[in-house]
């Protein structure tokens, strides 16, 4: 038998009724048979027909009222939109389980429903108006989506725009290297070196954009190892001492016998960015690099006596394209610290900054310590090794047969001059149509192939590579060169399985990659 519903007189004499009616939340209580025992006016006014919300009405009747008037849409239950049958099933199940849910009224208000079982088997429900909180959360979510979309659009734009700029710079770099091998006077060499410095600066900016694209693409994965810091510090000293000397700064890099756990290349990139910034922004005084042992691990400090900056900008300096005042004469687009910060987070290292206007700046990188005493070696620290002069041809390539496939005529013309200066036998093709003629000019199979990623008429280096292998009848070492930096293409290039270099490409790096490929294949020009 159903339990009797309390009479009006009993409820009228209940001292709790006035308290419940004055509460800001909507309140309702159901008996064990899901008949309404009591509710306050806040709850009653949620419905299209408040007069029908009275004692004794079954819960199912109120559900049907909502369906008829579609007065509410339970977003937490119906993320795909209003569906009467699905609403009926899920709302009854939620009520039977006395579970919490979020409800949006048709007038736009949001409610949080909290239902709990009573000892008598009924259900108590409290509905709180959370409209302001939900509007704030939705505004924050929308702002985050807009920021993420803007960041992605920026990365795509930079990647697309940089491709068109990389092509001519790539050709200029190759031509400069070929020209330096033919200069005869000191004056000519000095001018060429100054042009080369400008090209290196522009290339560095493109490399920074490429690093951001790689991080966005998720193609950079750390290779953690026990890493002695002494070689890293010596490499920093060798690289930045000349620049500091030219600016009249005292660069002190303290030795350390500590061993950390990190990725050698990524750690080197972070520290080079920090030291480069310290030297760039310091006009007088010194730059100090040292390692401290702390309870949290090893802390590498890069301290300068530069102008410092407002501590309120401590977080902003790690944002992309954020530049501080005071380096107007320097080239840069504000990516160095952003790259350092993202690499540090990828390595699970902590990068922080302490600064005060007029008192310099300290950047600190905290990383895990390895207590094991390991041999002190320079192995793996190659990124900061000085490159040989541009005019010296790479050893081991004289006589090598090279095939280059690139649809840009300026790049092919520049490469022909460069390979000739290196003493190589080179043939160049624009694509598959003139591939046979290029192979015929080689008078033998190529020792290495340089492929551009994007070619004309829908061809790509990735598509051409297996056809070239079939044409030759055997595998040939291949090197992919591309000016593309979009995340999807970076991931595809990583899956190709052979080396990928990015334009604008320093000729020395091209020569080093080719020398390694030819060396693995055997004596240059020999039979495979």
Q: Between the CA atoms of 83, 84, 86 and 88, what dihedral angle is there, to the nearest 10 degrees?
A: 150
Distance CA 326, CA 308 (A): 10
Contact status, residue 120 vs residue 111, Cβ threshold 8 Å: no
Residue 528 has what pLDDT? 36
Measured over the CA atoms of residue 436, residue 438, residue 440 and residue 442, the dihedral's sign is negative
Residue 157 has what pLDDT? 65
Distance CA 491, CA 398 (A): 34
**Exposed e or buried b for every residue in 141-166, given b needs 16+ CB within 10 A?**
eeeeeeeeeeeeeebbebbeebbebb
Name the 3-class secondary structure at 80. coil
Q: Which residues contact 51 (CB under 8 A, 6 or more apart)?
A: none
The pLDDT profile of the chain, 528 residues, written as one tens digit per residue, is: 444 444 444 455 566 676 677 777 889 999 999 999 989 988 888 887 888 898 999 999 988 888 887 666 555 666 666 678 888 888 888 888 888 888 777 777 888 888 999 988 999 999 888 888 888 888 888 888 888 777 667 666 665 655 666 667 777 777 777 777 777 787 887 777 777 766 765 666 566 556 656 666 555 677 788 889 998 898 888 888 888 998 999 999 998 989 999 988 888 888 988 998 899 889 899 999 999 998 889 999 999 998 888 877 777 777 765 565 544 444 455 567 888 888 888 888 999 989 888 888 999 999 998 865 434 333 332 333 333 444 455 677 888 999 999 988 888 888 888 888 888 999 999 988 888 899 889 888 899 999 988 888 888 888 888 888 888 888 888 988 887 666 666 667 667 777 888 777 778 788 888 888 887 655 444 433
Residue 365 has what pLDDT? 93
250-253 β-sheet, strand order: 250-253, 286-294, 297-304, 361-367, 350-355
Contact status, residue 281 vs residue 306, Cβ threshold 8 Å: yes
Distance CA 58, CA 234 (A): 81
Judged on CB neighbours under 10 Å (0-12, 13-18, 19+), 182 is exposed
Residue 328 has what pLDDT? 45
The secondary structure of 498-523 as a DSSP string is: S-EEESSPPHHHHHHHHHHHHHHH-S
Residue 368 has what pLDDT? 92
Regarding pTM above 0.85, the answer is no
The secondary structure of 428-461 as a DSSP string is: EESSGGGHHHHHHHHTS--SEEEEESB-STT-BH
Q: What angle do CA 378, 384, 385 make, to 5 degrees?
A: 70
447's tokens: 């020792």
Distance CA 407, CA 356 (A): 53
Residue 313 has what pLDDT? 75
Q: CB-side exposure of 369: number of CA atoms within 13 Å? A: 15
Instruction: Report which secondary-structure segment, H or E, holds 145.
Output: helix 131-180
Q: CB-side exposure of 287: number of CA atoms within 13 Å? A: 28
């Amino acid at each position: 038998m159903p339990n009797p519903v309390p009479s009006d007189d009993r409820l009228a004499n209940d001292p709790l009724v006035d308290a419940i009616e004055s509460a800001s939340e909507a309140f309702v209580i159901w008996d064990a048979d899901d008949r309404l025992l009591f509710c306050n006016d806040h709850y009653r006014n949620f419905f299209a027909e408040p007069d029908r919300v009275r004692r004794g009405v079954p819960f199912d009747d109120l559900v049907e009222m909502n369906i008829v008037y579609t007065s509410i849409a339970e977003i937490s239950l119906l993320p795909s939109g209003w569906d009467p049958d699905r609403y009926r099933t899920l709302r009854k199940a939620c009520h039977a389980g006395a579970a919490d849910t979020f409800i949006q009224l048709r007038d736009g208000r949001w409610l949080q429903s909290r239902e709990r079982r009573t000892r008598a088997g009924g259900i108590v429900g409290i509905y709180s108006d959370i409209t302001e909180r939900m509007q704030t959360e939705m505004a924050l979510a929308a702002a985050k989506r807009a920021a993420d979309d803007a960041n992605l659009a920026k990365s795509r734009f930079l990647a697309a725009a940089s491709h068109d700029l990389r092509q001519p710079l790539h050709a200029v770099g190759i031509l400069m290297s070929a020209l330096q091998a033919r200069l005869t006077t000191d004056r000519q060499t000095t001018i060429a070196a100054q042009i080369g410095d400008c090209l290196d600066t522009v290339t560095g900016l493109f490399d920074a954009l490429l690093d951001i694209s790689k991080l966005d693409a998720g193609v950079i994965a750390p290779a953690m190892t026990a890493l002695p810091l002494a070689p890293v510090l010596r490499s920093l000293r060798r690289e930045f001492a000349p620049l500091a000397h030219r600016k009249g700064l005292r660069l002190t890099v303290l030795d350390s016998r500590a061993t950390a756990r990190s990725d050698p290349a990524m750690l080197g990139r972070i520290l080079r960015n920090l030291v480069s910034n310290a030297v760039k922004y310091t006009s007088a005084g010194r730059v100090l690099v040292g390692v401290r042992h702390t309870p949290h691990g090893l802390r590498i400090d890069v301290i300068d006596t530069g102008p410092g900056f407002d501590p309120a900008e401590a977080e902003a300096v790690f944002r992309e394209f954020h530049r501080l005042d005071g380096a107007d004469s320097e080239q840069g687009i504000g990516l160095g610290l952003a790259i350092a910060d993202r690499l540090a987070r990828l390595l699970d290292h902590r990068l922080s900054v302490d600064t005060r206007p007029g008192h310099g700046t300290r950047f600190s990188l905290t990383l895990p310590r390895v207590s094991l005493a390991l041999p002190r070696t320079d192995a793996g620290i190659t990124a900061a090794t000085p490159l040989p002069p541009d005019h010296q041809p790479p050893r081991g390539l004289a006589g090598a047969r090279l095939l280059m496939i690139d649809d840009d005529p300026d790049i092919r013309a520049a490469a022909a001059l460069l390979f000739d200066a290196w003493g190589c036998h080179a043939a160049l093709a624009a694509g598959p149509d003139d591939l046979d003629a290029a192979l015929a000019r080689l008078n033998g199979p190529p020792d290495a192939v340089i492929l551009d990623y994007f070619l004309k008429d829908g061809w790509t280096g990735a598509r051409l590579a297996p056809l070239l292998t079939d044409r030759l009848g055997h595998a040939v070492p291949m090197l992919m060169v591309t000016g593309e930096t979009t995340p999807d293409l970076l991931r595809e290039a990583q899956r190709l399985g052979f080396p990928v270099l990015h334009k604008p490409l320093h000729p020395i790096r091209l020569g080093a990659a080719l020398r390694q490929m030819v060396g693995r294949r055997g004596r240059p020009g020999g039979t495979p």
